[in-house]
Amino acid sequence: MKLLLLQARKKGDPAAVHERSAFARVLGLDKRHIVPWDLLAGPPPKSELTSADCILVGGSGDFSVSDAADQGWIRQFIDAAEDLTSIGVPVFASCFGFQAFVVGFGGRVETNKSKAEFGTFELTVSEAGARDDLFREVAPRFYAQFGHADYAAALPSIFVNLASSERNEYQAATIPGKDVYMTQFHPELSMEANRERALMYLDSYAQAGFVDSLDGVMDNFRESPESSALLSRFVRGYLGLGATPKA
């Protein structure tokens, strides 16, 4: 079994290991099944993608899709979005992955402090989400883990919007006819894992003006089991593994 995890992390960034462990924990799998790929080295070749049972895309920490003009690897990944979602392998992309796919398919991503979300926020499932095979399994309102300043200002016309929050209209999407789901939130992160992740990047967030204080961020966390269950149902369902084993 191979789940290919596409990572946008600087060399030595502890979040790379943390991210891989988080996906393994939520999916109830040994880490050896989560195979990382460094996107800074360029997008994986088709042979690598087609050898995977599922493709996962995580966050980015120090990078933004708006850096594409200066970071060639980001432009390459954005340009590869349509091909990556057309090879017949199921894809689940969170945060940076969501944003890259939005841009890759012709949508728009912007940076705005008023749209930033750090911590745990409540989501509302859209009418389309209530009819979706995956999202109809969650409550009409549920909590999810976040850590972003970029946001989707406009979805590509081909995308179906599945959920929103008070600050952002577009928080999750799918592409009809494809086994592809994308979320602005991090279903791979538990409350505690997101607190740990926030501490890794808090200085960067503060310097950029996206958070005002440590206390303000660290007080804004709560459990989000339904969010994690979305990822687990999608991946384990396609792998034929059944429900995630209880810890």
Residue 197, domain CATH: 3.40.50.880
* pLDDT average, residue stretch 204-232: 77
Could you tell me if residue 244 is inside a domain?
Answer: no
Residue 126 falls inside a structural domain? yes
Band the pLDDT of 70: cuts 50, 70, 90. confident
* Residue 114 counted as domain residue: yes
Q: Return d(Cα 142, Cα 164) in angstroms, integer.
A: 11
Over pLDDT 90: what percentage of the chain? 74
Predicted TM-score of the model (pTM): 0.92
Instruction: Give residue-wise pLDDT tens across range 140-179.
Output: 999 999 988 899 999 999 999 999 999 999 999 999 999 9
In a domain, residue 245? The reply is no
Asked if the structure places residue 246 within a domain, the reply is: no
Contacts of 165-172 with CB under 8 Å at 24 or more apart are: 165/117, 165/121, 165/122, 165/123, 165/124, 166/121, 166/122, 167/114, 167/115, 167/116, 167/117, 167/121, 168/115, 168/117, 170/102, 171/123, 171/144, 172/98, 172/123, 172/129, 172/135
> In which domain, by residue range, is 86 found?
3-239
* pLDDT (tens digit per residue) in 18-59: 999 999 999 999 999 999 999 999 999 999 999 999 999 998
Beta bridge partners of 111: 150
Residue 37 lies in a domain: yes
Number of domains in the chain: 1
Residue 93, in any domain of the structure? yes
Determine, yes or no, domain membership for 226. yes
Phi–psi pair at 175, nearest 5 degrees: -115, 115
Q: Which of 3, 25, 5 is nearest to 235 (CA)?
A: 3
